[in-house]
Structure 1
Amino acid sequence: MNLPNQITLIRIGFIPIFMLIFLYPFQWGSLDILGTEVPVNHAVAGMVFAVAAGTDWLDGAIARNRNLISNFGKFLDPLADKLLVTAALLSLIELDLLPAWMAVIILSREFAVTGMRLVAAADGAVIAASPLGKWKTVFQMLAIFFLIVHNAPFTGFGWPIAMILMWVAVILTVISGIDYFVKNKHVLKDA
């Protein structure tokens, strides 16, 4: 297994660590991050999430620079993103930090696209992530991070940056989902 795929697997390994830290009610107190009280476990979970999300950029950069792009990586990388995003969104709902309807829109698109990828894979085709899908992922990751850390450090300025980013992520999720199905409708014709 090549290095980018190993890094992707590490990203998947971060998921239970993130969830344990974020959801388990540790009695660590809270931090004041520029006027925002953030539970310590949420701050630590935010760092773990940021590292896990950062591996998405890292594995892609290594794969492109070293010409290590593989069909397995084209499938595993977006799947790892979806697993990380799903775990984070469900955790945020559990803690009442995100409206469930936003998560449902995001997760519906993710499952639909994964389903289309599986249909294509059954025919021996691999559908790589589109640039629009990559931007969707960036905004999802940023929104999730700021929700995890309770909008710090922007709360003191009165900017709801986490929800602004989440709205952008939801809009990009819908647009990229439509784009994905329009560009790959041939996959479903034979299904």
Structure 2
Amino acid sequence: MVRTVPVVNPANAITALRLVLVPVFLVFGALSDFIHDGWRMAACLVFLVASLTDWLDGYLARANGWITSFGKIADPIADKALTGAALVLLSVYDRLPWWVTFVILLREVGITLMRFWVIRYGVIAASRGGKVKTVLQIAAIAWYLWPWPEALVGVGPWLMGAALVATVGTGADYVVRVIALRRKGRRAEQEDAQA
């Protein structure tokens, strides 16, 4: 007997919450104008809470068998919406060069599209490098959002540099794994068609 997983479950609800937090984060960031420390702190805290929901929804889905097609699609979209909104906000307020935002967003959107391209053949699990990349991106973005004293502001570019290297490196690894999965899936389809 095949178990049917309801679309409305706690894991998917948390993913939806992350999507709802994106505009809240943007409003707080815009209200800060990057000169009002209280709003910057609020934006940073909303960003961190939303980022933590990514770990929580994945954990709950795997632990309780709540994996759904909606979750497979909505989860990466929510992740990219949050990261993308934060990077664009930082670039709009001249905290981060636009080329950094462009490179990271190109990788993130490209990988998400590739996931959809091969989803019928399987899901490629996040690698250890991908998890490190995510942590570095969250840490770097949060560092730029928080109103640090002038002496600590210089840490941000180092964190973002590490995140950028991890982003590009894991993106290349993901492309290789996607191509391998697609070839394997196409081969299996051809063998089924010949049988």
TM-score (norm 1): 0.82
Q: Which residue of structure 2 aligns with residue 178 of structure 1?
A: 172
Q: CA deviation at 1:97?
A: 0.8
Q: Which amino acid aligns with 1:181?
A: V
Q: Which residue of 2 aligns with 1:138?
A: 135
Per the TM alignment, residue 135 of structure 1 is displaced from its structure 2 partner at its CA by 1.8
Residue 124 to residue 183, structure 1, CA distance change in 2 (3 Å):
closer
- For the 8 Å contact 1:71–1:126, the answer to whether it is kept is no
C-alpha deviation, 1:161, in angstroms: 2.5
* Partner secondary structure for residue 97 of structure 1: coil
Q: Does 1:16 align with 2:23?
A: yes
Q: CA deviation at 1:115?
A: 1.6
Q: CA deviation at 1:7?
A: 0.1
Cα distance in 2, alignment partners of residues 68 and 161 from structure 1:
39
Greater length-normalized contact order (CA 8 Å, ≥ 6 residues apart):
1
**AA aligned opposite 1:184:** V
Q: How many residues align?
A: 176
1:164 paired with 2:171, answer no
Larger proportion of strand:
1
Q: Tell me, which stretches of 5 or more residues in structure 1 are unaligned? A: 31-38
Q: Which has the larger radius of gyration?
A: 2
Q: Residue in 1 aligned with 2:144?
A: 147
Counterparts of 2:43 and 2:96 in 1: how far apart (Å)?
16
Bigger helix fraction: 2
Q: What is the TM-score of this pair, normalised by structure 2?
A: 0.80
Structure 2 unaligned segments of length 5 or more: list them.
1-7, 187-195
- Give % identity: 38
Whole-angstrom distance in 1 between the partners of 2:176 and 2:51? 28
Pick one of 45, 55, 74 that aligns with 2:72.
Answer: 74
Q: State the Cα distance separating 1:104 from its structure 2 match.
A: 1.0
Distance apart, 1:165 and its partner CA: 1.4
Report the AA paired with residue 4 of structure 1.
Answer: A
Aligned residue number for residue 42 of structure 1:
40
CA distance in 1, matches of 2:108, 2:162: 16
Distance in 1, Cα, partners of 2:166 & 2:32: 33
Alignment partner of 1:133: what SS?
helix
Q: Could you tell me how far 1:71 is from its partner in structure 2?
A: 3.9
Preserved contact between residue 133 and residue 176 of structure 1 (Cα < 8 Å): yes
Two-structure CA RMSD over aligned residues (Å): 2.2
Aligned mate of 2:13, from 6, 11, 17:
6
Which aligned pairs between 1:98-113 and structure 2 lie closer than 5 A? 98-113=96-111
- Superposition deviation, residue 8 in structure 1: 0.7
The aligned residue for residue 4 of structure 2 is none
**2:192 maps to what in 1?**
none
Kept in 2, the 8 Å contact 1:43–1:148? The answer is yes
